[in-house]
């Protein structure tokens, strides 16, 4: 952009030049000075003052010249607040606004030689480049037209503003500043009102909450937050849940009156891993006076084991067990195994540690250090290999944290020294004080019990023939002898021939211990299965992956938090239901329910006993925003469950669902523009009148900006006259 100075009355300048010349000549002749230089200087000062006055009378202006090829911009301002989601004209107001922009505004603006630039606003405003914004939804809680107008006027190359909104503004703090800026700039504003002029009842989906990840065979909830607004009675409707495009569940939505927000939920349980797409759809009967807002929403849930399933493998000496178990887990990206092998009485060998310094002092004696793992495998270990503090930490790991413990060994592992130890209570078997060595020269096969053959960890083939596959598993030649299973323990495998006091000798058993699960495998050198001549290595690998996951799944103490149907409005009270869904046992401990408000302040703290069944808590929701409910174990401080719920602030713009054309007309009047109803704009020619104001403003900016009388010009004239007076006095001419 360049500037040049010119005059509206150019002839006055020529008259001024002639008059100045005449004044200069008259002074030259009239001044009684011998020096011609002095006479010429005084005459020039007087003539200069005359010329300055003539220049002011010629009305000077500053003309702006834009660079060749430089196009000017029109700010197209589109409302994206929640009221734009009303569907009252055969489409949502947002969709109607997009149609007007694409079919009317953009073609008309470009035809006028201008460039349209989009500005989206709700309680804030941002320029939208590219096309990514088209995939957005009108979700702004409030709208601030004044702020949007302010932002639209900031760029220096804006020649006009086209505002598209339903006029439902809820924030007015910026209105005065925006109105002053609009009037001072002279930039015209054209308003387009979308929507309907009749206020109607509205219902829609505000939010759907889904967990990002969920474990197989563990239930979760799809929570739907609904809201109604406007006047009149809502007749009720139906909420549908789709899974991967197929309808899986539905529930009736009761009718009612008044603006409110509440939660509905679906209980979901997935059996297999994979990515699942859930979609919730709201259906209401077609009835005059009822608007359907956003009626579909959903998301994806990845059904998979935990993101990192860590296993700690502890062995008394370096053996082949860790190597072959590592191979079995190599294809599972989730399971991470760390090895800890004792090489001497005071030294250990660590493998695959997660961080520097982990386990550098050997097996942990604190439950906090074991909490990183889901399963601890003890291979060939005996109670004497652990200090009492280490045994206690392992017992608490299983009982309180829900960890899994697997003991693997043979005759040298299972003996009378287990009796009376802290770890004996943890394991599912009773120990024989004199087990001896069994089967040194008599190979044997694992005989799975009928219960085990039906369980997931023992499904070593993809489909059918599982019992036959186990019958073909190679024979073993060493095992440890135990006295029998504890009450409540589950026997998984037995010796095919050896008979003990209570029947066939147990080779594998499991039990619940508090929140976790413990398993014993009384077969030494179990890794030989993978190296046997007729073995199928894939079956060995699959068995270990499934077994470790199953042992670790015993860790899940399920505390569930849910919200019954209610009005979730800020300034009221919220109800939540807390339920213990785990198995009662030695590890069941009291928990504390804590609730924090959006600012992080605690609003409720209450202890609960797992034996109390389903309980309901209530807490105040004075502030709008998310309230976080946590279930924390009292003794350890471990978080057992967590959910959030949003208390909704009553939004004024949703209370009146009619379009407010009067507000839009007022803004157009301030900008000396025009206001249109969206339904009246069918083609680019329908908005020509409004764009004509923009074109007029553009031309006025190009022609002139008045300079006029200002302090600098006044001081210049005054200095000329004062300078002449001072010299006349100095030269004794007064």
Return the pLDDT at 89. 76
Domain boundary assignment for the chain: 2-59+708-730, 72-198+658-698, 200-304, 309-553, 557-651
Instruction: Tell me which of 235 and 106 has the higher pLDDT.
Output: 106
User: Any alpha helices (H) in 167-222, and if so which ranges?
Assistant: 175-185
pLDDT at 96 over 80: yes
How far is residue 74 from each of residues 68, 206, 212, measured CA to CA in Å? Answer: 18, 33, 42
Question: Where is 506: in which H helix or E strand?
Answer: strand 503-513
Strands of 237-243's sheet in order across: 213-214, 296-303, 274-283, 237-243, 246-253
pLDDT tier, 345 (very low <50, low <70, confident <90, very high otherwise): low
Close Cβ partners of 123 (under 8 Å, ≥ 6 residues apart): 81, 140, 141, 142, 143, 144, 147, 171
Cα separation, 580 vs 53, whole angstroms: 94
Question: Where is 531: in which H helix or E strand?
Answer: helix 528-531
pLDDT tier, 413 (very low <50, low <70, confident <90, very high otherwise): confident
How far is residue 72 from each of residues 75, 158, 179, measured CA to CA in Å? Answer: 10, 6, 22
Cα separation, 242 vs 279, whole angstroms: 5
Q: What is the mean pLDDT of residues 209-228?
A: 77
Cβ proximity of 562 and 256 under 8 Å: no
Residue 90 region by backbone torsions, left for phi larger than 0, else alpha for psi between -120 and 50, else beta = left
Q: Which residues pair with 340 in a beta bridge?
A: 314, 350
pLDDT tier, 439 (very low <50, low <70, confident <90, very high otherwise): very low
What CATH code is assigned to 309-553? 3.40.50.880
Instruction: Tell me which of 581 and 698 has the higher pLDDT.
Output: 698
Q: 200-304: which CATH architecture?
A: Sandwich (2.60)
Return the pLDDT at 557. 47
pLDDT at 69 over 50: no
Q: What is the mean pLDDT of residues 146-154?
A: 93
The per-residue pLDDT for range 515-524, each reduced to its tens digit, is: 688 999 988 8
| Angle at the Cα of 147 from the Cα atoms of 145 and 149, rounded to 5 degrees | 70
- Cα–Cα nearest to 162, from 239, 110, 212, 203: 110
The per-residue pLDDT for range 263-286, each reduced to its tens digit, is: 888 888 888 888 788 999 998 887
Cα separation, 267 vs 122, whole angstroms: 35
Q: Which fold has domain 72-198+658-698?
A: Rossmann fold (3.40.50)
pLDDT tier, 77 (very low <50, low <70, confident <90, very high otherwise): very high
Cα separation, 280 vs 210, whole angstroms: 11
- Considering only CA atoms, give the Rg of the chain: 42
What CATH code is assigned to 557-651? 2.60.40.1930
Return the pLDDT at 176. 92
Cβ proximity of 453 and 466 under 8 Å: yes
pLDDT at 586 over 50: no
pLDDT at 705 over 60: no
Kindly report the average pLDDT of the chain as a whole number: 81
Cβ-based neighbour number of residue 437 at 10 Å: 13
Q: What is the mean pLDDT of residues 402-420?
A: 84
pLDDT tier, 681 (very low <50, low <70, confident <90, very high otherwise): very high
In percent, the amount of the chain with pLDDT more than 90 equals: 19
Return the pLDDT at 281. 92
pLDDT at 385 over 70: yes
Strands of 446-448's sheet in order across: 347-351, 335-344, 309-315, 375-379, 404-408, 516-521, 503-513, 490-500, 446-448
- Mean pLDDT lowest among 24-28, 62-66, 702-706: 702-706
- Cα–Cα nearest to 215, from 125, 334, 323: 334
Return the pLDDT at 20. 79
Instruction: Tell me which of 475 and 719 has the higher pLDDT.
Output: 475
Cβ-based neighbour number of residue 65 at 10 Å: 10
pLDDT at 556 over 50: no
Q: Given CA atoms 38, 39, 40, 41 in this order, what sign does their dihedral have?
A: positive
- Cα–Cα nearest to 257, from 232, 279, 236: 232
The per-residue pLDDT for range 598-650, each reduced to its tens digit, is: 888 999 999 887 776 678 899 998 888 788 888 888 876 767 777 777 787 65
Tokens of 56: 């002011």
Return the pLDDT at 307. 59
The per-residue pLDDT for range 14-40, each reduced to its tens digit, is: 887 888 788 778 877 777 766 767 777
pLDDT at 401 over 80: no
Cα separation, 432 vs 524, whole angstroms: 17
DSSP of 444-493: B-EEE-HHHHTSGGG--SSSS-HHHHHHTSPPB--B--EEEEPTT-EEEE
Return the pLDDT at 451. 85
Cα separation, 97 vs 84, whole angstroms: 9
Name the range with the highest mean pLDDT among 126-135, 193-202, 599-608: 599-608
Return the pLDDT at 572. 84
Instruction: Tell me which of 419 and 240 has the higher pLDDT.
Output: 240
Fold identical between 72-198+658-698 and 309-553?
A: yes
For the chain, the maximum distance between any two Cα atoms, rounded to a whole number of angstroms, is 149
pLDDT tier, 179 (very low <50, low <70, confident <90, very high otherwise): very high
- Whether the pTM exceeds 0.75: the reply is no
Instruction: Tell me which of 343 and 216 has the higher pLDDT.
Output: 216
How far is residue 506 from each of residues 131, 429, 435, 456, 484, measured CA to CA in Å? Answer: 67, 9, 12, 20, 7
The per-residue pLDDT for range 289-319, each reduced to its tens digit, is: 676 777 888 887 878 765 578 899 998 777 7
């Amino acid at each position: 952009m360049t500037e040049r100075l010119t005059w509206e009355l150019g002839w006055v300048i020529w008259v001024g030049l002639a008059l100045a010349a005449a004044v200069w000549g008259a002074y030259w002749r009239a001044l009684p000075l011998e020096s011609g230089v002095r006479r010429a200087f005084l005459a020039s000062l007087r003539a200069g003052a005359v010329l300055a006055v003539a220049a002011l009378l010629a009305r000077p202006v500053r003309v702006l010249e834009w660079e060749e090829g430089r196009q000017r911009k029109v700010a197209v301002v589109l409302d994206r607040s929640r009221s734009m989601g009303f569907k009252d004209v055969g489409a949502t107001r947002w969709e109607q606004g997009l149609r007007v922009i694409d079919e009317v505004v953009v073609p008309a603006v470009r035809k006028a030689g201008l460039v349209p630039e989009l500005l989206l606003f709700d309680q804030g405003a941002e320029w939208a480049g590219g096309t990514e914004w088209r995939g957005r939804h009108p979700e702004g809680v409030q709208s601030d037209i004044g702020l949007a107008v302010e932002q639209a006027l900031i760029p220096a190359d804006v020649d006009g503003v086209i505002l598209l909104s339903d006029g439902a503004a809820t924030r007015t703090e910026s209105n005065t500043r925006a109105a002053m800026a609009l009037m001072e700039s002279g930039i015209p504003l054209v308003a387009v009102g979308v929507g309907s002029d009749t206020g109607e009842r509205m219902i829609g989906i505000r939010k759907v909450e889904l967990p990002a990840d969920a474990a197989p065979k563990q239930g979760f909830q799809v929570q739907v937050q609904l809201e109604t607004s406007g006047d009149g009675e809502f007749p009720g409707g139906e909420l549908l849940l789709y899974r991967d495009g197929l309808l899986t569940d539905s529930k009736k939505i009761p009718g009612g009156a008044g603006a409110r927000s509440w939660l509905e939920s679906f209980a979901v349980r997935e059996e297999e891993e994979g990515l699942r797409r859930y979609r919730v759809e709201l259906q209401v009967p077609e009835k005059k006076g009822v608007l359907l807002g956003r009626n579909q929403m959903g998301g994806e849930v990845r059904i998979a084991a935990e993101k990192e399933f860590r296993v700690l493998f502890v062995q008394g000496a370096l053996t082949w067990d860790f190597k072959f178990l590592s191979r079995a887990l190599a294809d599972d990206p989730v399971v991470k195994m760390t090895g800890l092998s004792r090489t001497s009485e005071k030294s250990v060998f660590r493998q695959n540690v997660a961080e520097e310094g982990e386990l550098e002092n050997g097996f942990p004696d604190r439950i906090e250090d074991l909490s990183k793992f889901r399963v601890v495998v003890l291979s060939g270990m005996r109670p004497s290999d652990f200090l009492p503090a280490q045994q206690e930490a392992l017992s608490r790991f299983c009982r309180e944290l829900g960890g899994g413990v697997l003991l693997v060994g043979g005759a040298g592992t299972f003996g009378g020294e287990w009796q009376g130890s802290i770890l004996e209570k943890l394991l599912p078997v009773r120990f024989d004080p004199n087990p001896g060595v069994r089967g040194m020269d008599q190979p044997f096969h694992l005989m799975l019990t009928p219960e085990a053959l039906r369980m997931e960890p023992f499904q070593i083939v993809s489909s059918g023939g599982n019992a036959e596959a186990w019958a073909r598993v190679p024979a073993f030649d060493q095992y440890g002898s135990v006295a029998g299973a504890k009450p409540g323990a589950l026997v998984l495998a037995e010796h095919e021939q050896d008979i003990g006091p209570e029947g066939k000798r147990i080779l594998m058993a499991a039990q619940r211990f508090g929140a976790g699960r413990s398993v014993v495998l009384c077969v030494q050198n179990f890794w030989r299965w993978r190296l046997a001549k007729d073995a199928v290595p894939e079956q060995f690998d699959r068995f270990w992956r499934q077994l470790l996951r199953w042992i670790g799944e015993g860790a899940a103490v399920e505390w569930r938090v849910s919200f019954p149907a209610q009005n979730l409005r800020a300034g009221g009270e919220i109800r939540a239901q807390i339920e213990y869904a785990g198995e009662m046992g030695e590890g069941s401990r009291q928990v504390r329910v804590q609730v924090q408000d959006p600012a992080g302040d605690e609003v409720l703290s209450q202890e609960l006993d797992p034996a109390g069944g389903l309980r309901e808590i209530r807490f105040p929701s004075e502030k709008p925003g998310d309230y976080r409910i946590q279930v924390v174990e009292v003794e350890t401080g471990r978080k057992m469950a967590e959910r959030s719920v949003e208390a909704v602030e009553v939004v004024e713009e949703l209370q009146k669902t009619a379009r407010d054309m009067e507000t839009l007309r007022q803004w157009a009047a301030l900008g000396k523009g025009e206001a249109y109803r969206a339904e009246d704009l069918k083609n680019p020619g329908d908005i020509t009148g409004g764009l004509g104001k923009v074109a007029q403003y553009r031309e006025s900016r190009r022609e002139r900006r008045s300079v006029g009388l200002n302090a600098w010009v006044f001081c210049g004239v005054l200095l000329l006259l004062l300078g002449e007076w001072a010299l006349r006095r100095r030269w004794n001419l007064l």
